[in-house]
Structure 1
Amino acid sequence: MLKRSHTFLAVAVSTVTLAACTTNPYTGEQQASKAATYGLGAAAVCGLVGAIDSKKHARNAALGCGIVGAGVGAYMDAQEAKLRTQLEGTGVRVVREGDNIRLVMPGNITFETDSYNLRGSFYPVLNSVGEVLAKYADTTMRVTGHTDSTGSRQYNQTLSERRAQSVADYLATRQVSRNRMLVQGVGFDQPIADNGSAEGRAANRRVELYILPNSL
């Protein structure tokens, strides 16, 4: 019976390995999907359950766990590729972090100086973001506003909150449910560059949209 369980584990891992291969949408080359690490880990761990308990429900749980592990990564892979295509050349950076996606929206293209009103030229960009987010609805989002260190802490805290809210409000008009969004401002407490230079301050003025997959 133990030998049979080991055979199942090998099949489950091989199945997930094949599913984890994907084609890079930019180079056309075959590569390991972001899902590979998580999918293979899930299959291996759950496969051990099948090796210990040979009952049918344990084997089904092992296979199901591998599929779920691969599914989350593959879902976010597809969403990432769509966002990169839609946002190419807009100035918005798409950053992949494990199974999460972070969109960095620089302040110089999103807002007028010292304002939380969206630039009219940024609406088409948010339209593209909203289109993808509405399609890939099995995610939640954290919309975070950031400022540079010029001015008082309270002023920057309020400005960062209002800028994040402006982005969230607009996305809501593009059929992105408010229930999926957590909106917050952190003022100048999370800089990504040196506030001692004009370039650094410009980089710190931004809104970040962090996209996280729901549990499948």
Structure 2
Amino acid sequence: MRILVAATIAGALVVTGCTTNPYTGESQVSKGAYGAAIGAALGCGVAAATTKKGKRDDRCLQGAAIGGVAGGGVGVYMDTQEKKLRDRLAGVGVGVQRDKSTGAINLVMPGNITFATAQSSVRADFYPVLDAVADVLKEYKDTTITVSGHTDNVGADAYNQKLSQDRAGSVSSYLVSRGVAAARVSSVGYGKSYPIASNNDEAGRSQNRRVEVRINPPQQ
């Protein structure tokens, strides 16, 4: 019975959470609704597992309601943050992606607009872009931020590793200098380990030279 209760609540949350995607014009289920549905199911399960048999269905309903609010809250929090970032970064060449499995937001900053060739210092003309990112990060202060550097496969591995780490560190340091709490930010260099395109031509290598800023959802 409690499985049916949880499924019914979760399904209702998904149906009522349908929205219109502002970028494609298509109807879709909001990420907040997904979060609420998952929270409802988990809330029911935890409540039922810790309650005596005769009262499990009632406790399932209570747990589903609490879990639905909590799960939906994180989803909505990340949804609104994503929209704000898309608005602030429109037309500047930075990709805004959403990881459906974790809810994280990933900002992809191509190396050619972020750094001078073979340099790790952020270009001065890119400061306004990072300023906009910092503004949003300061507003949504419950997230953590992981900055990762990536290179193509040209050159020695040790050189690429250091360059990627230095570039990630430069972006992290800039965000902190603009008021993002240092405790929220970490950086890592991956060198050539995680290409997103083929390294067999310049077009692909250009995509691989990048810094990514991953904004992780709050932990409940």
State the TM-score, normalizing by the size of structure 1.
0.87
Of all paired residues, the percent bearing the same amino acid is 46
Instruction: Report matched runs for 1:189-204 at 5 Å.
Output: 189-204=193-208
Residue 145 of structure 2 aligns to a residue in which SS? strand
The whole-number CA distance in structure 1 between the counterparts of 2:198 and 2:11 is 47
1:74 alignment counterpart: 76
Structure 2 gap segments, 5+ residues each: none
In the TM superposition, 1:48-67 aligns within 5 A as: 53=51, 54=55, 59-67=61-69
Shift of 1:42: 2.4
Distance 1:130 1:49, change over 3 A: closer
Structure 1 match to 2:151 = 147
Contact 1:20/1:70, CA 8 A, preserved across alignment? no
Indicate yes or no: 2:95 matched with 1:93.
yes
Candidates 32, 36, 41, aligned match of 2:33: 36
In 2, distance between residues paired with 1:94 and 1:172? Answer: 20
Displacement of 1:106 in angstroms is: 0.1
CA contact (8 A) 2:35 2:72 kept: yes
- The CA distance in 2 between the partners of 1:194 and 1:83, in whole Å, is 28
Relative to structure 1, is the Cα distance of residues 9 and 151 closer, same or farther in structure 2, using a 3 angstrom cutoff? closer
Partners of 1:95 and 1:151 lie apart in 2 by 29
- Letter of the 1:140 partner, please give it: T
In structure 1, the partner of 2:174 is 170
Could you tell me which runs of 5 or more consecutive residues in structure 1 were left unpaired when the two chains were aligned: none
Task: Work out the CA distance in 1 between the residues paired with 2:106 and 2:59.
Answer: 38
Aligned pair in 2 of structure 1 residues 73, 19: CA closer, same or farther (>3 Å)? farther
AA in 2 matched with 1:80: E
Aligned-residue offset at 1:206: 0.3
Match of 1:46 in 2: 43
Asked if the contact 1:23/1:31 (under 8 Å) is kept, the reply is: yes
CA–CA distance in 2 between the matches of 1:167 and 1:157?
Answer: 16
* RMSD value, Cα: 2.5
**Within the alignment, does 1:131 sit opposite 2:130 as a pair?**
no
Aligned residue identity for 1:92? V
Corresponding residue for residue 118 of structure 1 = 122
Shift of 1:6: 8.8
Superposition deviation, residue 12 in structure 1: 4.5
Residue correspondence of structure 1 range 10-29 to structure 2 within 5 A = 12-13=9-10, 16-17=13-14, 20-26=17-23
How much does 1:58 deviate? 5.6
Describe the SS at the equivalent of 1:90. coil
Contact 1:143–1:184 (CA under 8 A) maintained in structure 2: yes
Alpha-carbon distance in 2 for matches of 1:195, 1:166 = 25
- CA shift digits 1:134-169 (9 cap, x unpaired): 101111111000111111111111110000000001
Alignment length, in residue pairs? 213
Cα distance in 2 between the residues matched to 1:15 and 1:34:
14
Q: Distance in 2 between matches of 1:190 and 1:14?
A: 37
Residue pair 1:12, 1:47 contacting (<8 A) in 2 also: no
* Partner SS for 1:188: coil
Distance 1:6 1:155 in 2: 55
Residues 86-111 of structure 1: CA deviation (Å, up to 9, x unaligned): 11100000011121111000000000
Q: Secondary structure at the match of 2:213?
A: strand
